[in-house]
Amino acid sequence: MTKDPQAPPPYVALHALWDAAQDAFFAEFRDELEQTEYSDVRPTHGCVFRFVREDGMRLTRLAELAKITKQSAGEVIDDLVKRGYVERIPDPEDRRAKLICLTEKGREAQATGLAILLEIEARWIERYGAERWAAMRDLLEEIVAAEAPDAVPELASPELAGLAKVA
């Protein structure tokens, strides 16, 4: 593969860059998660750990946030119930509904997962520079706010965000 000195500069499609970066990040996450006692948490289960907070969440709402069907959400939840990470608690406000709640084990797994994410990001920040990193994050947040405003109520709860200081 000799290069043509006249060739235009190579162009890497944006989505390819994001893809690759995300893949690398996620692979690191999975690697570290495998080392924990929560290694049976599969990538598919992520939607639950990402969105469910202390006060629980209805299946329908979870499906909306995760952009999957109620049926798919139901299956993921069934699986997590079997593994002891979540439970369905009758919603006091609507007898049709159930609140998907993390069990104690589930909350531990969620905290562990978040801690890993924070660690990895901390490493990368160190590696690539805090300022550039902050600039990228700002831009990303702006993009997401503008292009997919309803996509990320994925804010860590205050207690969980507290872990950021530890990392």
Partner DNA sequence: CAACCTTGTAAGGACATCTGACCAGATCAA
Partner DNA sequence: TTGATCTGGTCAGATGTCCTTACAAGGTTG
Q: List contacts with its own copies (CB under 8 A).
A: 4, 7-26, 28-29, 50, 114, 117-118, 121, 124, 127-128, 132-133, 135-137, 139-144, 146-148, 151-152, 154-156, 158, 160-162, 164-165
Residue 31 neighbours by CB distance under 10 Å: 11
123 interface partner picked from DNA, its own copies, none, CB below 5 to 8 A per type: none
Q: How far apart are CA 103 and CA 68, in angstroms?
A: 23
Total residues contacting DNA by CB under 7 A comes to 26
User: Please, which residues have CB within 8 angstroms of residue 6's CB and are 6 or more apart in sequence?
Assistant: none
Selected from 48, 61, 114, 118, the binder of DNA by CB under 7 A is 61
Alpha carbon separation from 87 to 51, 59, 101, 130, 146 (Å, rounded): 15, 12, 5, 40, 35
The secondary element (H helix, E strand) that includes residue 127 is helix 104-128
Inter-residue contact 90 to 98 (CB < 8 Å): yes
Window 62-91: residues binding DNA (CB under 7 A): 67-72, 74-77, 79, 88, 91
Nearest distance, CB of residue 90 and DNA, angstroms: 9
Binding mask 90-129 for DNA (x = CB under 7 A): -x--xxxxxx------------------------------
Structure token digits, residue 78: 């069934």
Q: Which amino acid is at 162?
A: G
The whole-angstrom separation of Cα 39 and Cα 113 is 10
Q: Which of its own copies, DNA, none is residue 134 near (CB under 5 to 8 Å by kind)? A: none
Residue 68 binding: pick among its own copies, DNA, none (C-beta 5-8 Å cut-off by kind):
DNA
- Which of the listed partners (its own copies, DNA, none) does 82 bind, with a CB threshold of 5 to 8 Å by partner kind? none
